[in-house]
Amino acid sequence: MAHTPAWRNFKRTEDLTVVTASLIYAGAVVHAFNNLPGEAALIAQRTLVWPGVFLSLSLGLPLVVGPLRRTLTRYVWMSFRAGFGQTVRSILSGVVLLTAAAAFMYWQISNAANGGRYPAGVFSGYAAGIGILAAQALLVRVLERHPDVRREIEI
């Protein structure tokens, strides 16, 4: 089954967004371990353990709870129909959003390293965002098996 270039670009963009966000997160965790005060166990708890819980919930719930799955699937389909991931402008807007979120995380780490609040919330929030992005990327595969969608995305 061959898909239209628009669908292939959309699917690729969804996947690359998850990968990019995950790499940004991994870099922020390494940066946190190098700069945050406290024991390694505390840093791991705030950057890996609790954020892992939020990532799991934001990934799992939309996939197993029917109303959430339908809502997110509808959002993914509307994103495709609106042209997300198919134009330079839409891809650049996604890159800008990921860059802004990364800058915010690094700024929070910098503040905490200089005596400010510990940035536990920003890690959990970003991890939850990665979970939602991953759920969307998985739902793209669910969508392409739907008969009505297949008629529109297959060549």
Mean pLDDT of the region 95-100: 93
Pick the more confident residue, 155 or 62.
Answer: 62
Tens digit of pLDDT for each residue in 27-86?
A: 999 999 999 999 999 999 999 999 999 999 999 999 999 999 999 999 999 999 999 888
Confidence (pLDDT) at 50: 96
pLDDT for residue 1 is more than 80: no
Q: Rounded to 5 degrees, what are φ and ψ at 99?
A: -65, -40
Tens digit of pLDDT for each residue in 99-140?
A: 999 999 999 999 998 888 888 899 999 999 999 999 999 999
Q: Answer positive or negative: Cα dihedral of 69, 135, 12, 126.
A: positive
Residue 119 and residue 111: Cα distance in Å, rounded? 8
Both tokens of 104, joined, read 């915010």
- What pairs with residue 3 in β-bridges? 154
Which among 120, 114, 116, 113 is positioned nearest to 46, based on CA atoms?
A: 120
Residue 91 and residue 85: Cα distance in Å, rounded? 5
